A and B are shown apart, each in its own frame.
Chain A
Amino acid sequence: MNRFLWLIRREIWEARVVWIAPAICAAIVIGGAIFAGIWSHHIAFGMDSAELSDLNSQLTPQKLDALASMSLAAVTVPFLIMVMFTQFFYSIDALFGERRDRSVLFWKSLPVSDAQTVLSKLTVATVVMPAAATAGIFISQIGVCAAAAIKLAWITGMQAHLWSPVVWLNVLSLDAYIMVTSMLWYVPMVAFYLLVSALAPRSPFGFAVLVPLGAMLLEKIVFGTRLLATMLFLRSPVGLFAHIFGPQGTHGLGFVFKKNDVDMPVSLFSIMKPLEFLATPELWVGLVIGAVFIAGAVWARRYRDQTN
């Protein structure tokens, strides 16, 4: 096995949160779906079964497919929030923890470069964690779909649309799209946490929170602007959605529910805007800033005395 893969494995041995967090998240989502299925009289969208049945008969099969896919895609939201938190806590400790317990002396006694080490930690936070979350999302979607199918079959005849290949093609594509774009989108944040983790003399948590807050305050006082705050807000799931789904990303993705119809995109493929996302300057600026932070973290691990 390749040396880099060993470094990744090492990280997963240490940070079990990589798979435990998505597992817990999936358990909550599936448990919630089952709980809601048992206790709620409403299926969704604030409609009762008669209204839903009515709507069901009005909608074209194509629209039903899109609606089912969209409902299942909502499962990604708690996972995206979970990834933000686990990325944060994993990354601020990734280079600080080994200094605190002096195990950095053991890791440094092995022929592994500092760049490889730092990149392995970046990879865990920006690739492995979103990938594990995506697996959790998919499992949750199957669970939620099963719970919903049972409930719907009991009330209406919609189950055919829940299990249609079109729905799952849509769902899987959307999962993959969100995963890949969010990996790229969060790089500067993770890189910043890693830099803090490499430099902080103590409490990387404090530094990771207070440094941006201080910078925002300073900006507000000196220039009277809120550029940094806007930039940081953009790196939240809200900002991510605005960039990967276009302007409608923050406004229900173009789904408008009416009494007897739903205005909606023809398919979920039409709401994904990969080319526009790739053309967003914020994406590339973020990646460049991330690269600078990572270079700083590698430099700090390489050249700063790690054991005093």
Chain B
Amino acid sequence: MATLIEAKDLTKTYGATRALDGASFTVGSGRIVGLIGPNGAGKTTALKAVLGLARCEGSLSVLGLDPYKDRNELAKRVSFIADVAVLPRWLKVHQAIDFVAGVHPHFRRDRCEQFLARTSIKRTSRVRELSKGMITQLHLALVMAIDAKLLVLDEPTLGLDILSRKAFYDSLLSDYMDAERTILVTTHQVEELENILTDLLFIDRGRVVLDSTMDDVALKYHQLVTGPAEADAARALKPLSERQLLGRHVFLYEGADAEALDQLGEVRQPSIADLFVAKIQGGAA
């Protein structure tokens, strides 16, 4: 697995606030990495650094390039979708296709047309006449037709309804993703990404608090649901977090012995959302 992104000690300050505070992580090729964190954790700053839109201290290499210095070279191999609002509203669909085909050396028009043919988007419409879901599909059609090594998605489904969100990720997985490509995605809707991601990257207050593959997460983290009688025994095993739910106690463990937990109650695989809450609140405590 080749390393696509290598970040070491990324630091970025805006005035008095530290958006990134020594964040280090790597992203290998062929992975789908979820960059997840609370508001203001530094997600967008990290993405901007990867895209060469913001200068950071520390070292950062994307596809072997310094993204800030070689932004134009990088833009040929990296695609980017910010939230749905960034396609200019005056642009017509056919103009968008013509323009990207005109300026991008790795754009394959036939693929874009193929994808659009499956939608109800008219070529003569302006972006302002399309629904949010259609705008996202148009943007996705443009980006999927670019033969890029890395696709960066920043809250790509923000403000979309469930159907559009599902259609977005379905297209991404079935039409875009292959072993040669890598996706780095941030979102608040973690539950949608549960079955898509191969890697998790949690970021909180500018620091990386979890950097793991989903397989390792499954081995390392456990959720235990017990009755009140077993709660003290469960606490003795040093859970990351504890909460009560309808009279049951729910514990989340890192690196605990699964068999020992099994004695105390029902052991499950924690969801990303549960893990996120445990990790971020644990860090804050």
Contacts and interface: CB of A to CB of B under 8 A. Distances in A.
A13 B82 contact: no
Contact of B89 (A3, A101, A111, A306): A101
A250 to B, nearest CB: 41
Interface of B: 48, 51, 53-55, 71-73, 75-76, 79-82, 85-92, 95, 98-100, 102-105, 139
B105 A111 contact: yes
Contacts of A213: none
A103 B86 contact: yes
B104 A111 contact: yes
A7 B82 contact: no
Contacts of B71: 108
Given A9-B99, A111-B73, 4 more contacts: A1-B102, A101-B89, A105-B86, A111-B76
A275 interface: no
B87 A112 contact: no
Contact of A305 (B53, B85, B92, B95): B53
Given A103-B88, A306-B53, A111 B102 contact: no
A45 interface: no
Interface in A88-127: 98, 101-106, 108-113
Q: Of residues A13, A104, A105, A303, which shows the largest number of chain B Cβ atoms within 10 Å of its Cβ?
A: A105
A157 B73 CA distance: 68
B102 A109 contact: no
B75 A111 contact: yes
B91 A105 contact: no
A6 interface: yes
A169 to B, nearest CB: 39
A301 to B, nearest CB: 11
A7 B100 CA distance: 10
A6 B88 CA distance: 16
A39 to B, nearest CB: 41
Contacts of A303: 55
A16 B103 CA distance: 21
Interface in A261-308: 303, 305-307
A202 interface: no
B91 A3 contact: no
A14 B92 CA distance: 10
A112 B103 CA distance: 7
Contact of A110 (B75, B85, B90, B95): B75
